[in-house]
Amino acid sequence: MSFYTVIKTQLKNKKYLIAALAELKKRGEITNYVQQKNKIEVDRDGDLINITTAKTGEQQVEGDNRVVRAFSDRLKQMYALESIKDNLPLDFEIAVENETGGEIQILLKG
């Protein structure tokens, strides 16, 4: 038996959300995503997850409880990474990006 879960997030910037989903697709962690007006449908190897916009402008991750929590955590991590990449000061660039044990480490050079 599965349960439908809704996780409220503080993710507001759709630009970083789409970039995070594109990165997850590139890494093979999701199969596909389809953007609609106020909803994004994510296919994670047959598990469907919906990302909807709440009245506050923040995103909600909705779907089967067994996959939505882990996906939400990973989405937030990728969202943060895309935000950092986009907001680097002009005199810095990413020298090394490593991911081990679920942690992403970034080494900047400037």
pLDDT in single tens digits along all 110 residues of the chain: 578 899 999 999 999 999 999 999 999 999 999 998 889 999 998 889 999 998 888 999 999 988 999 999 999 999 999 998 888 888 888 888 888 888 888 888 87
pTM score of the predicted model: 0.87
Half-sphere exposure of 99 (CA within 13 A, CB side): 7
Indicate the helix (H) or strand (E) that contains 27.
none
Specify the pairing of strand 59-64 against strand 4-8.
Answer: antiparallel
- Class level of CATH domain 4-109: alpha beta
